[in-house]
């Protein structure tokens, strides 16, 4: 699965990269990851768990998606809203 960094993220100097475990996507705004995104099951659909890496705080994201890629894109969109950039 490939995930392209959304425009709002690139405009703020960010990037998204797949972690070495092949399941966690990290959002970077510098040399270290700032947020981790994981696809999780939500009933018979998919969701995206968003965790702040410096303190482990989970960000609210309860919207189910049809597939894993959509869940990651929705998670990035929610992150942008949480940061006030969407």
Q: Which domain holds residue 39?
A: 7-82
**Does a structural domain hold residue 36?**
yes
pTM of the model: 0.92
**Does a structural domain hold residue 73?**
yes
Provide the number of structural domains found in the chain: 1
**Does a structural domain hold residue 1?**
no
Reported for 57-64, long-range contacts at CB under 8 A and 24+ positions apart, including other chains, are 59/35
**Does a structural domain hold residue 2?**
no
Rounded to whole angstroms, how far apart are CA atoms 80 and 72? 12
Task: Give me the residues of the chain with pLDDT under 70, please.
Answer: none
**Does a structural domain hold residue 72?**
yes
pLDDT computed for residue 62 by the predictor: 72
Token pair 């960010």 in the structure block, residue: 14
């Amino acid at each position: 699965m490939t995930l392209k960094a959304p425009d709002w993220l690139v405009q703020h100097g960010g990037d998204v990269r797949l972690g070495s475990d092949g399941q966690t996507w990290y959002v970077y705004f510098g040399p270290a990851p700032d947020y981790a995104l994981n696809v999780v099951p939500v009933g018979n659909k998919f969701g995206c768990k968003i965790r702040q890496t410096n303190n482990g705080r989970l960000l609210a994201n309860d919207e189910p998606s049809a597939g894993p890629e959509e869940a990651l894109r929705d998670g990035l969109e929610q992150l942008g809203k949480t940061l006030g950039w969407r």
